[in-house]
Structure 1
Amino acid sequence: MRYFVKIVEAGSFSRAAATIFVAQPALSQQIAELEDELGVSLLHRSARGVRPTAAGDALYREAVAILRQIEKLPDIVRFTGGEVAGAVSLGMSSTLASFLAGELMKACKTALPMVNLSFVTEDSVSLKARVAAHTLDLAILFEEAATPGLVRQPLFRQRLYLVERKPSARAGPKSVSLAEAGARPLVLPSLPNAMRSLLDQHFAAAGIAPEVVAEANMLHGILSAVQSGLGATVVPMGDFKAATGGMGLVAIPIRPAIHQTAHAVWSDGVPLTRAGEAVRGLLGPFVLRFLDEQAPLGMERIEG
């Protein structure tokens, strides 16, 4: 399984052989035996390299998950008592990471000094796919509808704001309607994206056809485009100084208020390690403290 995963990731037998220090003929023989045992072809072979067949793609996903569980076994066996220790991989959407990542990593290091936290930033859709594939233990992301195969814990909700360059000579509006936001040239996240899907639903329900002049998949790129004067954007945060320094930008609340809900998610099929459970258990109390002490504009408790 390890050989097969390395070949798929390298895209060729020769590159995989060089990476894992195994002779290429021996590697080819191992895969031939695996294909013979399973009775299916796992790789498309060509002069340009290899890529997985449909069966190979399914095996790759399962093999990655199995190997990841095997890697966790030493932590599970060694640390059955005493101080919690081990490795935990945590993903977070770029918007949330811009104001939450540093404080959360510091809180984990303080409360769980023997836990090695590996932090990943991607869009919410990619993070959910990685949790489902068991290449991430946990993720914190925005979503409204539950995802099959994942367990989720609501953490807080965040209001949407229109973000644009500050007017030079006059005060900007205190709020904007959804129609006013849609009338501006907009730079928005590209689909699939949780915030974009939610915003599109509200635009469609109101009969508004927004002018989307550009799309990007990461917060920094979107705010950079707004700073350049390309257009405005909509983000689930009212304070973006941590992301850009806030240079020349202003956040305006949209009325009526539109909110996104941030959840912690983890796999329903593979139990978390003791270290993973400890990090998950830390998230709720951490968010409550963060809300009380330094929550950015628009971040709100989920009542009830």
Structure 2
Amino acid sequence: MAQPSLSQHVLSLERELGVKLLERSPRGVSLTASGEVLLSHAQRITDALEVAVEAVRQSGSEPMGEVTFGLPSSVSMVLSVPLAETVRLELPKVRLRAIEAMSGFIQTWLEDQSIDLGLLYDISSVRHLHHTKLMTEELCFFSAPDAWPFDTPPGTEVRLADLAEIDLILPSQHHGLRTMIDRFTRSSGVALTVGTEMDALSQIKIMVSRGSAFTILAPAAAQDFLERGELVMAPIIEPKMVRPIYLVRNPAKPVTKASRELERTTMLVIRDLVDRGIWRADDAVLDAATGA
């Protein structure tokens, strides 16, 4: 719209409402308090219209559109490829945008509605968001096969207290995995020695496979190295270290048919990975989530 025409519309609106909407000065134009109120309402109306348009589009028989999904790194390593392949085959009009990130970022994106879905380990600060518990997975100790640090056969279960005696490489405290590990060690009165912090799980696995350090990971995050025999895994006991995994969405963000179908497909893909032993998990929880 041309500037003179826009100005006339604003003046006409001001006369109709009986208030000034814009403060005009030699330095430019700014909103008055009344203008701010009108803008806020106008934005809500525009947002509602966009939701209505999307709802009409989604009312057809086939799901379509983009769905953004935040995945923690250790989950992305085992889930992202089979999920993307399944979506391409079964939901051809749905465009999956999978974003690998640390849990803290995923939580923020869920809060500000930047993503449709996210997987989180810790929901203590986001219980107001809609969440479904999918499973509980065990955290294990990892070493290079020829660098096993204990006087036991490689792969023998390890007490948490024994890990205080060795040099570990772990993600930083901004990482969901580290948060979970620190919570277990604090409650058990164990002080770990973390010689190196690295937020790239792929690099952590390489360092451990070279015998340079040891680490604690979920088995799914190291499946590739385990299959190649480059790492050996041992259960941690006294206590056993486990973490839940939740599928989370913000109820304030409109739910599309595409996002509902992706949620359902995610559960089915995880169910398949668990059944095939690729993802070691407490599948009783997942049974309830999938209706199996």
TM range (shorter): 0.7 to 0.9
Q: In the TM superposition, what whole-angstrom CA distance separates every residue of 1:218-264 from its partner, at most 9, and x where no partner exists? A: 31122233234331110122662436874632111101421111111
User: Which residue does the alignment assign to 1:287?
Assistant: 270
User: Which residue does the alignment assign to 2:178?
Assistant: 196
> How much does 1:110 deviate?
2.4
2:85 is the counterpart of 1:102: no
Which stretches in structure 2 are left out of the alignment for 5+ residues? 1-27, 34-39
User: Which residue does the alignment assign to 1:210?
Assistant: 192
Distance 1:219-1:202 versus aligned 2 partners, 3 A rule: same
Matches within 5 A, 1:221-232: 221-232=203-214
> How much does 1:204 deviate?
1.7
CA distance in structure 1 between the aligned counterparts of 2:178 and 2:220, rounded to whole angstroms: 17
Contact 1:132–1:149 (Cα < 8 Å) also in 2: no
> How much does 1:195 deviate?
2.2
Distance 1:278-1:184 versus aligned 2 partners, 3 A rule: same
> How much does 1:77 deviate?
2.8
User: Which residue does the alignment assign to 2:261?
Assistant: 278
Q: Which moved more, 1:65-74 or 1:167-176?
A: 65-74
Q: Rg: which structure is higher?
A: 2
Distance 1:125-1:69 versus aligned 2 partners, 3 A rule: farther
User: Which residue does the alignment assign to 1:37?
Assistant: 31
Distance 1:84-1:250 versus aligned 2 partners, 3 A rule: same
> How much does 1:92 deviate?
0.7
Q: Which moved more, 1:169-178 or 1:104-113?
A: 169-178
Matches within 5 A, 1:32-181: 33=29, 36-37=30-31, 75-143=54-122, 145=124, 147-167=126-146, 171-181=153-163
Q: Which moved more, 1:274-283 or 1:240-249?
A: 240-249
SS state at 1:103 partner: helix
Aligned positions, number: 248
Distance 1:293-1:229 versus aligned 2 partners, 3 A rule: closer
User: Which residue does the alignment assign to 2:219?
Assistant: 237
Task: Please tell me the residue identity of whatever aligns with 2:56.
Answer: V
Q: In the TM superposition, what whole-angstrom CA distance separates every residue of 1:68-104 from its partner, at most 9, and x where no partner exists? A: 9887765433231221111111111110111111111
Distance 1:239-1:199 versus aligned 2 partners, 3 A rule: closer
Distance 1:205-1:78 versus aligned 2 partners, 3 A rule: closer
Task: Please tell me the residue identity of whatever aligns with 1:109.
Answer: R
Distance 1:138-1:181 versus aligned 2 partners, 3 A rule: same
Task: Please tell me the residue identity of whatever aligns with 1:271.
Answer: P
> How much does 1:148 deviate?
4.0
Distance 1:302-1:69 versus aligned 2 partners, 3 A rule: farther
Distance 1:99-1:148 versus aligned 2 partners, 3 A rule: same
TM-score (norm 2): 0.74
Distance 1:270-1:173 versus aligned 2 partners, 3 A rule: closer
> How much does 1:152 deviate?
0.9
Task: Please tell me the residue identity of whatever aligns with 2:211.
Answer: G
Percent of matched pairs sharing the same residue: 21
Which stretches in structure 1 are left out of the alignment for 5+ residues? 1-31, 40-58
> How much does 1:107 deviate?
1.9
